[in-house]
Structure 1
Amino acid sequence: MIRNKHLLLAALLMSVGIYSVCEMCEPLLSKLSEEKKMAHQHMHHHKMMSASDHAPIGIMGDMHHSKFMLSLRQEYMHMNGNLLDGKDIREQAIINLPNTVSNMPANLSVVPKEMNMQMTMLGGMYSPSDNITLMAMAMYMSKSMDLKTFKPMMGRDFIGKFKTSSSDLSDLSVSLLYRFNQSMSSRWHLETGLQQSIGENTSKDTVLTPMNQRMDMILPYGMQPGDDATSVILGLTNVRTFKNGMVWGNQIRNKTVINDKDWAFGDKAEFNSWVQMPLSKSVSISSRLNTTHQDKISGRNILISAPVQTADPRNYGGLNVYLAVGVNLLTSIFSSDNHRFGLEVIFPIDQDKNNLQMKTDYKVIFGYQKSL
Structure 2
Amino acid sequence: MKRSCMALLCVMATVTAFAQHKETETPWTSARPDGHAPISVMGDHTHHKGEWMFSYRFMYMQMKDLKNGSDNISHSDVYGNGYMVSPLKMNMKMHMLGVMHAVSDKITLMAMLNYIENDMDLQMMMNNMTSSFATSSSGFGDIKVSALYQFLNKNHQELHGLIGVSVPSGSIDKKDVTPMSSPDKIVLPYPMQMGSGTLGTDIGLTYLGQNPLISWGSQLKATFYYGENSNDYRPGNMYDWNSWLAVKTTDWLSFSARLQARITEDIHGENPDLNPMMVTTANTENSGGKYILSGLGLNTYIPGGNLKDLRLGIEFGYPVYQDVNGIQLSQKETLTVGLQYAF
Same fold (TM over 0.5): yes
Q: State the Cα deviation string for residues 76-118 of structure 1 (Å, max 9, x = none).
A: 1001111001210001111000xxxxxxxxx211110010011
Matches within 5 A, 1:57-96: 57-66=39-48, 67-96=51-80
Q: State the Cα deviation string for residues 250-292 of structure 1 (Å, max 9, x = none).
A: 0001110124312121111110000011011110110010111
- CA distance in 1 between partners of 2:105 and 2:194 (Å): 36
- CA distance in 1 between partners of 2:13 and 2:47 (Å): 26
Aligned to 1:29: none
Q: Secondary structure at the match of 1:95?
A: helix
Aligned to 1:247: 215
Q: Quick one: percent identity of the two aligned structures?
A: 29
Query: Is contact 1:268–1:292 with CA below 8 Å preserved after alignment?
Result: yes
Query: Is contact 1:208–1:215 with CA below 8 Å preserved after alignment?
Result: no
The alignment yields a C-alpha RMSD, in angstroms, of: 2.3
Query: Is contact 1:12–1:271 with CA below 8 Å preserved after alignment?
Result: no
Query: Is contact 2:31–2:303 with CA below 8 Å preserved after alignment?
Result: no
User: Does the C-alpha gap of structure 1 residues 238 and 333 become closer, same or farther in structure 2, counting only changes over 3 Å?
Assistant: closer
Q: Give how far 1:129 is off.
A: 1.5
Length, aligned pairs only: 338
- CA distance in 1 between partners of 2:290 and 2:227 (Å): 24
TM-score (norm 1): 0.85
**Match among 25, 49, 52 for residue 34 of structure 2:** 52
Which amino acid counterpart does residue 258 of structure 2 have in structure 1? R
The answer as to 2:98 corresponding to 1:126 is: no
In structure 2, the gaps of 5 or more residues are none
**Match among 267, 284, 292 for residue 321 of structure 1:** 292
- CA distance in 2 between partners of 1:222 and 1:180 (Å): 37
Moved more, 302-311 or 75-84: 302-311
- CA distance in 2 between partners of 1:258 and 1:347 (Å): 31
Aligned to 2:197: 228
Query: Is contact 1:231–1:259 with CA below 8 Å preserved after alignment?
Result: no
Query: Is contact 2:59–2:334 with CA below 8 Å preserved after alignment?
Result: yes
Query: Is contact 1:140–1:171 with CA below 8 Å preserved after alignment?
Result: no
Q: Give how far 1:63 is off.
A: 2.1
Aligned to 1:110: 85
**Match among 301, 305, 309 for residue 280 of structure 2:** 309
Which amino acid counterpart does residue 111 of structure 1 have in structure 2? S
The answer as to 2:337 corresponding to 1:359 is: no
The answer as to 2:230 corresponding to 1:258 is: no
The answer as to 2:262 corresponding to 1:292 is: yes
Q: State the Cα deviation string for residues 308-350 of structure 1 (Å, max 9, x = none).
A: 1001011111111100001001137983211100011000000
Query: Is contact 1:54–1:64 with CA below 8 Å preserved after alignment?
Result: no
- CA distance in 2 between partners of 1:249 and 1:122 (Å): 23
- CA distance in 2 between partners of 1:10 and 1:53 (Å): 30
- CA distance in 1 between partners of 2:116 and 2:216 (Å): 31
User: Does the C-alpha gap of structure 1 residues 86 and 55 become closer, same or farther in structure 2, counting only changes over 3 Å?
Assistant: same
Q: Give how far 1:193 is off.
A: 0.6
User: Does the C-alpha gap of structure 1 residues 259 and 333 become closer, same or farther in structure 2, counting only changes over 3 Å?
Assistant: farther
Q: Give how far 1:181 is off.
A: 1.2
Moved more, 323-332 or 353-362: 323-332
Structure having the higher Rg? 1
- CA distance in 2 between partners of 1:220 and 1:256 (Å): 21
- CA distance in 2 between partners of 1:111 and 1:219 (Å): 14
TM-score (norm 2): 0.92
- CA distance in 2 between partners of 1:11 and 1:76 (Å): 32
Aligned to 2:129: 157
Q: Give how far 1:174 is off.
A: 0.7
Which amino acid counterpart does residue 71 of structure 2 have in structure 1? K
Which amino acid counterpart does residue 74 of structure 2 have in structure 1? R
Structure whose residues are more often helix by fraction: 1
Q: Give how far 1:150 is off.
A: 0.7
User: Does the C-alpha gap of structure 1 residues 245 and 17 become closer, same or farther in structure 2, counting only changes over 3 Å?
Assistant: farther
Moved more, 259-268 or 52-61: 259-268
In structure 1, the gaps of 5 or more residues are 27-31, 98-106
User: Does the C-alpha gap of structure 1 residues 333 and 180 become closer, same or farther in structure 2, counting only changes over 3 Å?
Assistant: closer
- CA distance in 2 between partners of 1:9 and 1:81 (Å): 35
